[in-house]
Structure 1
Amino acid sequence: MPKLTAMMIVRNEADRYLERCLKSLSVYADEIVILDDASTDATPELCASFPAVKLYRRETSLFLIDESRLRRELWDYTVATNPEWILALDADELLEERAAREIPYLLRQDLFTAVGFRLFDCWGGEEYYRVDGLWSPWLRGFSIYLVKYQPNLPAAWPEQAFHCGRLPLAYRRLPYLESDLRIKHLGWANPAEIRWKYKRAVGRDPTFKYQPREHYESILWPPEKIQLEKWR
């Protein structure tokens, strides 16, 4: 079986979804490379409790200052494990359970060197996801999360402090397989987090360079205006 290395950046995730994410990844990933961005809670200890994890820690946080540099650091640590394939997930994202059966096929197929998945934003809980506006997984379409490591490709990111992407630019331009595996994104599942996440997003993008203003404002829409579908 080709070697799969998962990678992620974490910061203060101990009391959120990280443990579930790592348990899920441990089923099908050979290694999980984690760059801890100066957590002040028990996140590092939680990561280290998983045998598959290779943990690296920063003493000062970089995510809100220079995300592209942080992503490059994570990439360098990841490729040092000699992976054949690399999976880029965040600490609040889960591939659905059947990934344990599907991932081996995706790693063995030789028609594509990249695989795209749709991301579903759970909203106000885990049973429903948003389908209005740019939240719609069908309107947003597929994004590449799984790639075959190719040392000849440049490992460059756009020089952006925010929304720089989780994979090098060259990998995002590869022809890719559209997988029907879904990513369950839990970042908006807790109603108590929605307002502060809105403030953080707008604070980092006050001129609406990376997302339309209407999309940011839709974060705070009243429940009757939000369109949801049940996760099945």
Structure 2
Amino acid sequence: MPKVTAMMIVRNEANRYLERCLKALTNYVDELVILDDASTDATPEICLSFPMVKLYCRDTPLFLKDEAQLRHELWHYTVATNPEWILALDADEFLETRAVRELPYLLKQDFFPAISFRLFDCWGREDYYRVDGLWNPWLRGFSIYLVKYQPWLDAAWPLQKFHCGRLPLAYRHLPHLESDLRIKHLGWANPADIRAKYERAVSQDPTFKYMPREHYESILWPADKIKLEKWQD
């Protein structure tokens, strides 16, 4: 099976989903390059408890100031490992369990240099995902998370400090295979996190350059207005 290198940015993830995420990745990833954005908790220690992890640590945080620069740093460390395929996931995202069986077939095919997946935002709990508005994974469609490394491609990111994407621009337009494997995103699963995430989002994008105002406001909608569907394994 081709070598799979995952890459991830983390900051203060010790009490969230990090350990679960890393355990899941051990089932189908050969190595994991992590850039710690100056965590002040036990995040680095958790990362180093997994032998497959190559950890790099910043002394000062950068994510909320210039995400594109941070992503570029992570890419630099990742390609230094001589990867074949690169998987870009966050510490609160999980490919569904059947990925262990199906990823080998996706990686061995020679027709597509990139694989795209749908992301499902679990909302207020881990077993229901959101389907109203721009949260709907069926309307939002596929995004590329897994690419074959091609060193001749340019590694530039867009010149924007937020919502800059996880992969270099050149990789986002590759022919890609749309996989029916789903990504389960738990970033909104804890109700206690939702308001803080809303406040961070609007502080980063006060003029609604990256997302419509209505989408940001929908983060704080009452439960009876939000549409959910049951996650089925």
TM-score range, shorter chain: over 0.9
C-alpha separation in 1, matches of 2:32 and 2:105: 19
Per-residue CA distance 1:132-185 (angstroms, 9 max, x = gap):
000000110000000000001000001111000000000001110000000000
1:106 aligns with 2:106: yes
Partner of 2:156: 156
Q: If the length of structure 1 is used for normalisation, what is the TM-score?
A: 0.99
Report the alpha carbon displacement of residue 64 of structure 1 after superposing the two structures with TM: 0.4
Partner of 2:128: 128
Alignment of 1:68-217 (within 5 A): 68-217=68-217
1:22 aligns with 2:45: no
Partner of 2:222: 222
C-alpha separation in 2, matches of 1:91 and 1:209: 26
C-alpha separation in 1, matches of 2:127 and 2:25: 21
Equivalent residue letter for 2:65? I
Structure 1 ranges of 4+ moved more than 6 A? none
Report the alpha carbon displacement of residue 105 of structure 1 after superposing the two structures with TM: 0.9
C-alpha separation in 1, matches of 2:180 and 2:15: 30
- What is the aligned residue count? 232
**Unmatched segments (≥5 aa) in structure 1:** none
Identity across aligned pairs (percent)?
A: 80
C-alpha separation in 1, matches of 2:105 and 2:40: 39
C-alpha separation in 1, matches of 2:56 and 2:134: 34
Q: If the length of structure 2 is used for normalisation, what is the TM-score?
A: 0.99
C-alpha separation in 2, matches of 1:178 and 1:189: 26
Partner of 1:46: 46
**Unmatched segments (≥5 aa) in structure 2:** none
C-alpha separation in 2, matches of 1:30 and 1:81: 11
C-alpha separation in 1, matches of 2:67 and 2:159: 9
Q: Helix, strand or coil for the counterpart of 1:28?
A: coil
